[in-house]
Amino acid sequence: MDTLETTAPPADATVGATVDARGLSCPMPIVKTAQAIKTVASGALVEVLATDPGSTKDFTAWCRSTGNELVEQSADGAVYRFVIRRK
């Protein structure tokens, strides 16, 4: 697994929701994540799986603009994994 950014969530942190955006193109991974993040409490984690190579830049920009924290970003082959903490 190639790690693009390493800020691992605390060991006791649990993922509150998982968004499977594999096979979707921009802007759908962001749209689905925006919907899912509203379903978890502030401080909770949302995991996103995507295959769109542009999603790495998209999630960085989206987190910056929304105030949510991109806790972890990694790639395993063609699948990108993002862990986002809701503000």
Q: What is the token pair recorded at 22?
A: 């594999």
63 in catalytic set: no
- DSSP string for residues in 17-34: EEEEETTPPTTHHHHHHH
Catalytic residue among 13, 24, 26, 34: 26
User: How far out from the chain centre does Cα 18 lie?
Assistant: 9
CB of 35 closer than 8 Å to CB of 9 = no
Catalogue the active-site residues: 26
